[in-house]
Amino acid sequence: MGKKLFTLLLLYSFIFVAFFALFIIFNKGWAHPYFIKAQNAEIIKIGFFSRFTRSGQGNETSEVQVNDSAVEDSLKPCPETPPNLLGPIQVEFETNRFMDDVRKKVGSFLQMGGRYKPPDCISKQKVAIIIPFRHRHEHLTHWLYYVHPNLIRQQLHYGIYVINQDGDGKFNRAKLMNIGYAEALKEDDYDCFVFSDVDLVPLDDRNLYRCFDLPRHFSVAIDKFNYKLAAINNFGGVTALSKEQFLIVNGFPNTYWGWGGEDDDLYNRIMLRIKSISRPDAVIGRYKMIRHNRDLNNEQNPSNAKKAKETGKTWDQDGLNSLNYTVTQTIKDILFTFIAVDVHEPTE
């Protein structure tokens, strides 16, 4: 009887010691490195994919917040030169592409609303990419198909905003840019803004979509112009300004209806207030344009060229500080945030 009791006590003691040892190991972080790696990977996965599911629900669990914070604190800044860039990229628009194709290609990497941030490092900037838009759905599909992978390889923390002008009135590209800036800032504290026409696709992912010390003109060599800069004062197509730079020049003008002039006005604002711009070289800054006819109600407006000569008199009155519009619809797609707006076209 005494021998059996001793054996039972010994067995219970062994079990107690074993459980106590496991408790110490897992609470002190002495687990096997593979387990720690797997644990961290799961935390990264939670932080990367759960942000949209949590937004709009109103209740974020403290556990997930702690995980997000812990991962952020453990990450290092992304390198100045992203390591996975490809350089020149083959681009063609003959293939019939559909949004579902693009969602299958890149959707798993994105947060809802066309948002992305690298899971393994912290980007130095948060970049909002603004696309002025109307009736260009096929172009948008091509653009998203090529540009999302570029931006992911660039380790960019970004969101894509498609700003759609309601109705069929005169198109106002510049005002849509200002609206995109204002609406993006309602969602996140972006410090860089890339303004891109939907028909221009970069041909080299070394053309980094980020802000620089000076306002940046990216699309310096477009196939339509034989890969040459169209004019020394050209500042159209694809450009970027930091939040500070955009505020200094008071944004784009709001009063350019129809085609032309608004890029010249922005260039003039920059020359007046910042004095210079920057560009990539003509090899890295190559773009392919999707050929198309001019849109209805976006015909060339001769009065715009005249207005651009008066920038010195109007820049501080016509811009962000005089912006007025109404948002009529917001749609969150995995590939982009679509914001439809009434631009308040003046009645003549």
DSSP string across 290-347: PP-PPPTT--B-HHHHHHHTTHHHHTTTSSGGG---EEEEEEE-SS-EEEEEE--PPP
Task: Give the whole-angstrom CA distance, residue 151 versus residue 117.
Answer: 10
CA 301-248-200 angle, to 5 degrees, is 50
Task: Give the whole-angstrom CA distance, residue 241 versus residue 38.
Answer: 40
Active site residue 263: yes
Active site residue 199: yes
Neighbours of 325 (CB within 10 A): 21
The single residue of 68, 199, 204, 265 carrying the catalytic annotation is: 199
Active site residue 213: no
CB of 144 closer than 8 Å to CB of 110: no
The single residue of 289, 316, 342, 344 carrying the catalytic annotation is: 289
Active site residue 216: no
Task: Give the whole-angstrom CA distance, residue 93 versus residue 290.
Answer: 7
Residue among 325, 312, 336 nearest 172 (CA): 325
Active site residue 223: no
CB of 201 closer than 8 Å to CB of 287: yes
The single residue of 197, 205, 265, 333 carrying the catalytic annotation is: 197
Active site residue 166: no
The single residue of 183, 204, 205, 263 carrying the catalytic annotation is: 263
Active site residue 262: yes
Active site residue 197: yes
Burial (0-12, 13-18, 19+ Cβ within 10 Å), 129? buried
The single residue of 63, 92, 94, 294 carrying the catalytic annotation is: 294
Residue among 130, 246, 260 nearest 198 (CA): 130
The single residue of 30, 60, 137, 292 carrying the catalytic annotation is: 292
Task: Give the whole-angstrom CA distance, residue 46 versus residue 58.
Answer: 17
Whose tokens are 């200094």? That residue is 248
The single residue of 259, 271, 344, 345 carrying the catalytic annotation is: 259
Q: Which residues are catalytic?
A: 197, 199, 259, 262-263, 289, 292, 294
